[in-house]
Amino acid sequence: MINLHVMHSWGGGLERWVKEYAQSDTRDTNFVLKSIGEHGTPAKQIHLYRHIEDRIPLRMWELDKPIVSTSATHLEYRYILQEIIDVFKIDCILISSFIGHAFELLHTDRRTVIICHDFYPFCPVIIAYFKGNCEECNFSHLKTCFAENPVRFFPFTSAIEWMEIRETFVRMLKGKYIPLIIPSPFIKDRLVSLEPKLADVPMFVISHGISPLVTVKSLSTELQAPPKNRPRIMILGELSTHKGLELFGQICDRLCEVADVYLVGCGDDGYAFKRKRGVTIISHYKREELAAIVDKLEIDLGLLLSVWTETFSFTLSELMSMGIPTLATKIGSFADRIEDGVNGFLVPPNPEKIVLKVNDLLDDPKTLQEIRDRLSSFQHKSVEEMVIEYQERLENEAFDSQKIATLIPAKTLPQDLDLEQLQLQIALWQHELADLRLSHAKLANQLEYKEFYPNWKISKNMRVPLSKRFSMFKYAKRLFPGLWQYLRNLAINFKVLY
């Protein structure tokens, strides 16, 4: 079969999943369709790749009307997709993300599945988190989220427009056989709680596979591991807000009283703790070096502090594969995958309870060793095994029972003509609206700058906040939001760039 993987170009675990799937699939051909854009406009171009490792696309289309989030209807995208299907004989479409794409993907006669790496396109902030994990999201919630949520990936889209995106998405899922593939069982309950209409949509659990961790003989960068005098805790992976940045900030000092803490792969966010005594930062690493790093550090306990409901977590998979006992917050896929006291430990995402649990575990090395012994025989599902499960699902006869017309039908029945004309007109209006929205955003930024600097000329660059230019300001903004807002207001009063 010939598959078409649909994804964004933001990287992360989603790109890793598509890459490992394509590399491990020895039976089928796997094309990749990527949306290419910038912040606020994720699709200015659409790129088609023969192999996901390719740097140069096989085909490239410049969109006359960029996609600012996800388009319910997009004529240009419709013809691009139909051309790809016809020319490259696509059999199956595997949608990993709708970001920068259009729902025309759901209108084809090809076997189609949606892989739920997150909660998009139902949720505009992707992770369904606003002042806590969202349990419901009606129009009032959505409107408040758009106004107050600091996480804004799609600034040119309104709550009203998102309700239309959401309703169109749900309607299409209920109108034909398009199963959702969920990597963890909890996702079904979470989606249905957010949108009860999804209760009848077919959902199947296929957990992610991972490629084996290899061990290199030497590291690309020198790693100094001092003599081990105390227990060692490792927080592996990104340390952004939703991954537990603020939670770690609340418990950091107390953890450092009883153990040395290593932030491995934390990225730039970890530098907020650079001067903390007892904290060692390894901001980036190559995946093939991870096992060697962990061996050298002699880690006693892994710690995962995500405050949002992770849909899977490659990080947990790697910790378990390396035999490291892990304490994780009792939410999302962590609660699905960890059997407390058997293959790891769970704790509510509460600072006091986390510190208490860490102290108990470090005082009980026998229990940690028992978990380590059990994990020594743990075998994670391979990517090859996962690919076979997907192939079996895509060969399901249920797809053949609900075929619909192609994107661009050869003939149009008279009674369908008015509906098609209306759909075309709506698409044209949406294109015009996208243009107006982009123009409005540019003018708004220019006017804001003009207000600060009366002699400023339109030809000058937009203002760039200090939090975008210097990482230290970004950390201050995240860790001390109240102080940051005070300084921001002070800067505005004195007409200073903030």
Q: DSSP of 147-172, one letter per residue?
A: HH-S--S-TT--HHHHHHHHHHHHHH
- Does 85 reside within a domain? yes
The pLDDT of residue 479 is above 80: no
Amino acid identity for residue 113 in this structure: V
The pLDDT of residue 367 is above 90: yes
Residue 104 neighbours by CB under 8 Å, 6+ apart: 73, 74, 77, 78, 81, 407
The pLDDT of residue 468 is above 60: no
Query: 405 or 450, which is more confident?
Result: 450
- Does 346 reside within a domain? yes
- Do residues 148 and 254 both lie within one domain? no
- Do residues 145 and 198 both lie within one domain? yes
Per-residue pLDDT at 463: 43
- Does 386 reside within a domain? no
- Does 217 reside within a domain? no
d(CA 316, CA 184): 13
What is the number of H-type helices and E-type strands within the chain? 16, 14
Average pLDDT over residues 215-229: 68
Q: The domain spanning residue 263 has which CATH number? A: 3.40.50.2000
- Do residues 56 and 183 both lie within one domain? yes
Q: The domain spanning residue 150 has which CATH number? A: 3.40.50
Q: Which residues pair with 292 in a beta bridge?
A: none
- Residue 483 pLDDT class (50, 70, 90 cuts): confident
Q: Which of 123-127, 182-186, 416-420 has the lowest mean pLDDT?
A: 416-420
Summarize pLDDT for 60-81 with one digit per residue, the tens: 999 999 999 999 999 999 999 9
Q: Which domain holds residue 81?
A: 2-209
The pLDDT of residue 84 is above 90: yes
The pLDDT of residue 283 is above 70: yes
Per-residue pLDDT at 428: 63
- Does 498 reside within a domain? no
d(CA 383, CA 424): 42
- Do residues 140 and 287 both lie within one domain? no
- Does 258 reside within a domain? yes
Q: Which of 204-218, 332-346, 430-444, 450-464 has the lowest mean pLDDT?
A: 450-464
The pLDDT of residue 459 is above 50: no
- Do residues 76 and 198 both lie within one domain? yes
The pLDDT of residue 357 is above 70: yes
- Does 216 reside within a domain? no
d(CA 240, CA 247): 10
Per-residue pLDDT at 464: 45
Per-residue pLDDT at 111: 96
Average pLDDT over residues 28-45: 96
The pLDDT of residue 237 is above 60: yes
- Which strands form 92-95's sheet, in the order they lie side by side? 59-67, 41-49, 29-38, 2-7, 92-95, 111-115, 180-182, 203-205
**Domain's final residue, options 209, 244, 271:** 209
Query: 199 or 422, which is more confident?
Result: 199
- Do residues 125 and 27 both lie within one domain? yes
The pLDDT of residue 455 is above 90: no
The pLDDT of residue 406 is above 70: no
Per-residue pLDDT at 469: 47
- Do residues 463 and 333 both lie within one domain? no
Summarize pLDDT for 107-117 with one digit per residue, the tens: 999 999 999 99
For 215, 250, 372, the CA distances from 305, given in Å and listed in that order, are: 26, 12, 20
The pLDDT of residue 472 is above 80: no
- Do residues 190 and 260 both lie within one domain? no
- Residue 214 pLDDT class (50, 70, 90 cuts): confident
- Do residues 157 and 84 both lie within one domain? yes
- Do residues 42 and 102 both lie within one domain? yes
The pLDDT of residue 296 is above 60: yes
Task: Say whether the peptide bond before residue 481 is cis (omega within 30 degrees of 0).
Answer: no
The pLDDT of residue 450 is above 60: no
List the one residue out of 296, 295, 297, 315 whose CA is nearest residue 305: 315
Domains in the chain, number: 3
Query: 52 or 474, which is more confident?
Result: 52
**Can you point out the beta strands (E) in 100-212?**
111-115, 180-182, 203-205
- Residue 461 pLDDT class (50, 70, 90 cuts): very low
Following CA atoms 367, 185, 93, 36 in sequence, which dihedral angle do they give, to the nearest 10 degrees? -60
Summarize pLDDT for 122-153 with one digit per residue, the tens: 999 999 999 899 989 999 999 999 999 988 89
- Does 119 reside within a domain? yes
- Do residues 310 and 452 both lie within one domain? no
- Do residues 432 and 362 both lie within one domain? no
The pLDDT of residue 495 is above 60: no
Mean residue pLDDT across the chain: 86
